[in-house]
């Protein structure tokens, strides 16, 4: 009898996407499912939306709930975790650090504890450019010193450091991906950015363009940048998801833990983003200038070279117009289901 090649019998890995109903998580779930991965989502729906999951399998619950996590990992033989769930507002984290250390740090420790007890060996962790604090140079590479300015940035840095210890002690391998400014929406038009309250630049500008927001406030126009407004590195959400997929494959092939900065390497000022939104939407925006937002560095631009050379990552959407075009299509679908 001729035996079948081993790969034919092997089911696709089961990926647990924590925070899979949120902005980036839901795009990740869509990508994994399009590639036939088996996916199970953990989300408490505090910031995510079940409708963003299409028919992906959801286990509704919190990573702060040990009873829930224990049952979850007993019932699902998870091969790898992609962990997106966290509180993400820098300003709020300064006013309410307890919430950030609880959700981002204690929640992650709980998740790791139960995952390890059930033999999970791989995790991709959503980190952030906020681990660097005020840049000492740009573009920011992985060797840049870490001096986070907010409890949000600190909570992410602590987890990065914890993951390094867990690899040494327990063999849990991880990839930490430090996002610069996630933006845009799925090219197919099914998913997009959806926060409540919305605080991010591009969705707010598009809300102004569509008439949902009366006026847009630029937070400071006297930064030491060419036009006085802050410069950021906007990266398309689908490019971020591709990087997670490559990180997963990187761990699957037996590599040790690593960290990567994810950005296009190209910065755009708030004024440039406003102009591009006006161009894409064909609407003149109603703009005013407000005081600087505490903790906003003048320039944050990534050196994404390491992710390119080691993971083989190549961002597809390097033109800001494409990011805004996709986000505009999504905004025009409001109210979302």
Minimal distance, residue 198 CB to ligand UDP, in Å: 9
Window of 20-28, 162-170, 214-222, 260-268 that interacts with ligand UDP by CB under 6 A: 214-222
Q: Is 293 in the site for ligand UDP (CB under 6 A)?
A: yes
Q: Is 225 in the site for ligand UDP (CB under 6 A)?
A: no
| CB-nearer residue toward ligand UDP: 53 or 203 | 203
In this structure, is the dihedral angle defined by the CA atoms of residues 265, 313, 176 and 156, taken in order, positive or negative? positive
State yes or no: is 152 an active-site residue: yes
Minimal distance, residue 89 CB to ligand UDP, in Å: 8
Q: Is 156 in the site for ligand UDP (CB under 6 A)?
A: no
- The candidate with the shortest Cα–Cα distance to 147, out of 133, 129, 136, 137, is 133
Minimal distance, residue 206 CB to ligand UDP, in Å: 12
Minimal distance, residue 315 CB to ligand UDP, in Å: 18
What is the pattern of x (binds ligand UDP, CB under 6 A) and - over residues 68-107?
A: ----------------------x-----------------
Q: Which of 141, 278, 296, 322 binds ligand UDP (CB under 6 A)?
A: 296
Q: Is 283 in the site for ligand UDP (CB under 6 A)?
A: no
Q: Is 15 in the site for ligand UDP (CB under 6 A)?
A: no
Q: Is 327 in the site for ligand UDP (CB under 6 A)?
A: no
Q: Which residues are 288's β-sheet partners?
A: 217
Q: Which residue in the list 100, 152, 223, 250 is annotated as catalytic? A: 152
Q: Which of 246, 270, 320, 327 binds ligand UDP (CB under 6 A)?
A: 270
Q: Is 217 in the site for ligand UDP (CB under 6 A)?
A: yes
Q: Is 155 in the site for ligand UDP (CB under 6 A)?
A: no
Q: Which of 199, 207, 210, 225 binds ligand UDP (CB under 6 A)?
A: 199
Minimal distance, residue 208 CB to ligand UDP, in Å: 10
Catalytic positions = 152
Which positions lie near ligand UDP, rule CB under 6 A? 90, 181, 199-201, 204, 217-219, 230, 232, 270, 293, 296
């Amino acid at each position: 009898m001729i035996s079948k090649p081993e790969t034919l019998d092997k089911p696709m890995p089961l990926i647990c996407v924590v925070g899979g109903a949120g902005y980036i998580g839901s795009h990740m779930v869509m990508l994994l499912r399009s590639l036939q991965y088996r996916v199970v989502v953990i989300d408490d729906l505090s910031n995510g939306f079940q409708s963003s999951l299409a028919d992906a399998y959801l286990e509704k619950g919190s990573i702060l709930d040990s009873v829930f996590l224990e049952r979850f990992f007993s019932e699902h033989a998870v091969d790898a975790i992609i962990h997106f769930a966290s509180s993400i507002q820098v300003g709020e984290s300064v006013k309410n650090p307890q919430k950030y250390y609880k959700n981002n740090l204690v929640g992650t420790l709980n998740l790791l504890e139960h995952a390890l007890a059930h033999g999970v060996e791989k995790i991709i962790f959503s980190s952030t450019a906020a681990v660097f604090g005020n840049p000492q140079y740009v573009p920011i590479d992985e060797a840049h010193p870490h001096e986070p300015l907010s409890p949000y940035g600190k909570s992410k840095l602590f987890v990065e450091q914890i993951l390094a210890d867990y690899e040494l002690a327990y063999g849990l391998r991880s990839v930490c991906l430090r996002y610069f400014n996630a933006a845009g929406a799925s090219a197919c038009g099914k998913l997009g950015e959806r926060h409540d309250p919305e605080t991010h630049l591009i969705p707010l500008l598009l809300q102004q363009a569509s008439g949902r927001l009366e006026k847009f406030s630029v937070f400071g126009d006297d930064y030491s940048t060419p036009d006085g407004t802050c410069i950021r590195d906007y990266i398309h959400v689908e490019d971020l998801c591709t990087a997670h997929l490559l990180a997963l494959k990187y761990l699957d092939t037996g590599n040790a833990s690593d960290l990567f900065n994810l950005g296009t390497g190209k910065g755009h000022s708030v004024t440039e983003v406003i102009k591009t939104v006006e161009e894409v939407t064909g609407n003149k925006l109603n703009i005013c200038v407000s005081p600087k937002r505490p903790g906003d560095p003048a320039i944050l631009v990534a050196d994404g070279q390491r992710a390119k050379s080691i993971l083989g990552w190549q961002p597809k959407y390097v033109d800001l117009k494409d990011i805004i075009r996709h986000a505009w299509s999504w905004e025009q679908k409001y109210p979302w289901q």
